[in-house]
Structure 1
Amino acid sequence: MARIPSSPGTPPSPGTPPLPRAFSSPRTPFSPAFWRSPLRGPWFTSVLGVVLLGGITVLFLTGLLSYAAYNPDLSSVNDKTPDKGILGFYLFSWPTDPHWLYRLNQGVHVTLGITLIPVLLAKLWSVVPKLFTLPPARSLAHALERISLLLLVGGGVFEFVTGVLNVQLDYIFPGSFYPLHFYGAWVFFAAFVAHAVLKMPMALRNLRQLREEKSKLVAPNPAEPTMSRRGALWFVGGGSLLLFATTVGQNFDGPLRRTALLAPHGGAEPGSGPAAFQINKTAAYARIDPSETSEDAWRLVVTGRGGTVRLSRTELSRLPLYSSALPIACVEGWSTSDQWWRGVRLRDLAALVGYDDDPPDVFVESLQRRGAFRRAALRANQVADPRSLLALYVNGEDLTPDHGHPARIIVPAAPGVVNTKWVARMTFGDL
């Protein structure tokens, strides 16, 4: 290879052949000589690609299951993504067993997504020269490949950014998180599958290579290395491990929760006593008026085919009460361990308004004035489960205002947002 001048102003020594044009002007990203890192190459990119292949597949599947857990096909009030059409083919009645199902699913989804961020960034860095190749399209097939690459890169960045914003900042991105993340996931995963099908044979071949093949990813005029490619992989892996260690603790109570420095519900438990477990929406945030939740003012309105009944909290407490040990698990990935809830079974409330045998779906309305899911719908299988309660107590004490006093829903395996707090009305029947 011809010797490269030490600087643009240093003339080549006598007898040195002229430099190719691509090497003589390495000032723009469109010149191969602009990219000088010796770390880039097919082997490095292939290792990252294989990791992402497994990780993103798990992310996509757990994301679909999380969406199904909201029962978006049950009623329009739960459906945050209208007109999903054939993309809703996988929806089903979300089960109530095992009772920790949503806690596990969403914990994996969010923790894995954050853990993969360094791998995704390293992968994008490793292939960035390909984004600046000229001409942009040499043929129709090459143009289609370039479009799929654009969708892959853009979709990946969009999904990770919106996901992190939803977890960390209660979602500040313009528009509703649910349809944006849902449709973005399908676009990204379609491009991801197409890319994997096209590139996986080459990636596996690159992993078996002892030497780098000739590739546009290999710098034609590499700079002096500061670390090996394996060292770079250890660096990326260390970043992922650090993010994992500072996120996963949000899925546990006690000392481990304090390690969740990057999680919105990390840190110590909020206060002490029976009600000292994590809270998503406080009574103040939801704009709950204390005068509406007093014993004298509050009444639960229950409606069904047999009519309507109105019950005070005292009257509810005189009905048969049952206990369930269930966690709270949120879409943001955090969860609590099992808490002891005590209250009236949902199927018993259904029986009060004419459904003695097969309890139907129920539409639940809250007193909250701010925040998503002020109303939520539950399926018949969730109502029928004997562990599903309108809870009045938790861990042996009255519910606190932040945990939903005077009464809240608690259902096995359901996302936290459909475990409605500050319940005001329940309507049983076909929705």
Structure 2
Amino acid sequence: MGPAQGSSRVRLVGLLRNGPPFGPTRPGFWRSPLRGPWLTSVLGAVLLVGIPLMFVTGLLSYAAYNPDLGANDRTPDRGWLGFYLFSWPTDPHWLYRLTQGVHVTLGIVLIPVLLAKLWSVVPKLFSWPPVKSVGHALERLSVLLLVGGVLFEFATGVLNVQLDYIFPGSFYALHFYGAWVFIGAFVVHIAFRIPLTVRMLRGGGLRDELRGQSRTGGASSSDPTGLVSPRPAVPTMSRRGALGMVGAGSLVLLAVTAGQSIGGWLRPTALLAPRGQDPGPGPNGFQVNKTAASVGIRAVDMGVAWRLVVRGGGRERVLTREEVLALPQHGAALPIACVEGWSTEDQEWSGVRLSDLAALVGFTLRPPGVFVQSAQLSGSFRSTTLRDNQVRDPRSLLALRVNGADLSPDHGFPARIIVPANPGVHNTKWVTRLTFGENV
């Protein structure tokens, strides 16, 4: 070992022995009198309820996308992470509207709680020395994955809700893998912290806090977390006020978000919803995700030249729109619900049952799944795959009309898929080809 290396080692040992060297690594740097195990435990208890519910509804959303069907898979090599996948049901018809509405709305409402929680524990992120033992190193690693994972999941989720597709890859794959990394770190963190959280909440003081009668002071032996400042600044608000600010922030976000999922008279209140604007009057006056112009659909392609190709079992039928209209027509009252959290009220669709179209190519008893292709020229989800249980549902239609009128170009004229409890992107618009039993 040379003199320079020996000198560096001596300085490092000195830093570790003499305490934190500077700035945020020193306990006295963080002077807010509000920080402490009680406030952190209250915020943590809220997240302990909210985050698992978000995780479960997120997994359900992933299952609803039928990712084990080839055309829908945006998550390669997921392996055992997809252990829970199941055939997404068609009943109740509002199921995806509910689960995805809860997922998105809850995620946005929890943002103030999450930020407050991170603020309350920020001194621990700079604790000194960085690593004290192997166990401490594992705990620090779990915190790193926890903080990084939660920021990634919330940030990508909010960007997706606002239709800001800036991701370097598929949002579905990134969000899916990120969720599993985050929830793993979350479980480890809870295992370390749940005893302290329970002790803090059981220890009383909630009534005093809410009455504004809490006491603040320097760190003492009763603070096992190291969050209480040894020299706190003069308080400018109570913990009751801090909790009130966080709660008010969450309520405001709820008020300007939930209407996009609930609909009705609350829809105009969804100020943050990208599809919360007035869609206009008339039978086709409800929310649209992608317009015909935005994905390269030309009127000439969807006019008299349009043909529907139905294939399967070695057979093929080519139908004009008039021939499709001549087939038995059926109706279904169904909503459209999208991954971004917005949804429509039930619309009255009419068209040909998918099971009847399957019968045209010989599948009369138990129609199989179907591979759906669109005339869409750009963007994602130009094709999709539906399961056999979706095809067999009598409400699953190749819709030609909505609310008594022909579909508008933006709603998929001349024909689109509508399936109960189906994510909106799989209700394919501008359909040109249906292939039953192949590529499914």
Question: What TM-score do you get using the length of structure 1 for normalisation?
Answer: 0.92
Aligned to 1:311: 319
Amino acid at match of 1:39: L
Aligned to 2:37: 42
Aligned to 1:12: none
Structure 1 distance, partners of 2:265, 2:396, is: 30
For residue 299 of structure 2, the aligned residue among 274, 286, 290 is: 290
Contact 1:43 1:209 in 2 (8 A): no
Structure 2 distance, partners of 1:113, 1:141, is: 32
User: Equivalences for 1:297-376 in 2 at 5 Å?
Assistant: 297-376=305-384
Amino acid at match of 2:49: G
DSSP 3-state at the match of 2:24:
coil
Moved beyond 6 Å, runs of 4+: none
Structure 2 distance, partners of 1:282, 1:384, is: 29
User: Equivalences for 1:178-217 in 2 at 5 Å?
Assistant: 178-210=172-204, 213-214=222-223, 215-217=225-227
Structure 2 distance, partners of 1:170, 1:219, is: 40
For residue 240 of structure 1, the aligned residue among 238, 245, 250 is: 250
Q: CA deviation at 1:267?
A: 2.8
DSSP 3-state at the match of 2:25:
coil
Q: Does 1:394 align with 2:402?
A: yes
Q: Does 1:229 align with 2:239?
A: yes
For residue 275 of structure 1, the aligned residue among 259, 284, 294 is: 284
Contact 2:334 2:349 in 1 (8 A): yes
Q: Does 1:259 align with 2:269?
A: yes
CA distances 1:248-278 after superposition (whole Å, capped 9, x unpaired): 011143431111111111232x110111000
Gaps of 5+ in 1: 1-20
For residue 127 of structure 1, the aligned residue among 121, 133, 142 is: 121
Aligned to 2:425: 417
Structure 1 distance, partners of 2:168, 2:384, is: 23
Structure 1 distance, partners of 2:266, 2:283, is: 19
Structure 2 distance, partners of 1:400, 1:429, is: 30
Amino acid at match of 1:375: S
Structure 2 distance, partners of 1:307, 1:278, is: 37
CA distances 1:41-71 after superposition (whole Å, capped 9, x unpaired): 0000000001001100000000000000000
Q: CA deviation at 1:306?
A: 4.8
Structure 1 distance, partners of 2:263, 2:196, is: 45
DSSP 3-state at the match of 2:227:
coil
Structure 2 distance, partners of 1:210, 1:72, is: 47
Contact 1:45 1:123 in 2 (8 A): yes
Contact 1:22 1:32 in 2 (8 A): no
Q: CA deviation at 1:169?
A: 2.9
For residue 105 of structure 2, the aligned residue among 111, 118, 121 is: 111
Q: CA deviation at 1:172?
A: 1.3
Q: CA deviation at 1:324?
A: 0.1
Q: CA deviation at 1:207?
A: 1.3
Structure 1 distance, partners of 2:368, 2:322, is: 26
Structure 2 distance, partners of 1:306, 1:351, is: 13
Q: Aligned pairs, how many?
A: 406
CA distances 1:15-60 after superposition (whole Å, capped 9, x unpaired): xxxxxx879x8x6101111100001000000000010011000000
CA distances 1:359-418 after superposition (whole Å, capped 9, x unpaired): 001000000112211000000000000000000000000000000000000000000000
Distance change (3 Å), C-alpha of 1:300 and 1:170: farther
Amino acid at match of 1:260: A
Structure 1 distance, partners of 2:427, 2:272, is: 25
Q: Does 1:153 align with 2:161?
A: no
Structure 1 distance, partners of 2:157, 2:372, is: 28
Distance change (3 Å), C-alpha of 1:198 and 1:22: closer
Amino acid at match of 1:387: R
Structure 1 distance, partners of 2:226, 2:262, is: 46
How well do the aligned residues superpose, as a CA RMSD in angstroms? 1.4
DSSP 3-state at the match of 2:294:
coil
Aligned to 1:62: 57
CA distances 1:56-93 after superposition (whole Å, capped 9, x unpaired): 00000000000000000122x10000110000101111
DSSP 3-state at the match of 1:281:
coil
Q: CA deviation at 1:308?
A: 0.3
Aligned to 1:80: 74
Q: CA deviation at 1:210?
A: 4.6
Structure 1 distance, partners of 2:50, 2:39, is: 17
Amino acid at match of 1:328: I
CA distances 1:164-220 after superposition (whole Å, capped 9, x unpaired): 010013421222111110000000000001111221111010112357832410011
Question: What TM-score do you get using the length of structure 2 for normalisation?
Answer: 0.90
Contact 1:305 1:354 in 2 (8 A): yes
Amino acid at match of 2:102: V
Percent identity at matched positions?
68
Distance change (3 Å), C-alpha of 1:22 and 1:235: farther
Contact 2:311 2:317 in 1 (8 A): yes
Distance change (3 Å), C-alpha of 1:161 and 1:420: same
Contact 1:22 1:33 in 2 (8 A): no
Q: Does 1:89 align with 2:83?
A: yes
Amino acid at match of 2:67: P
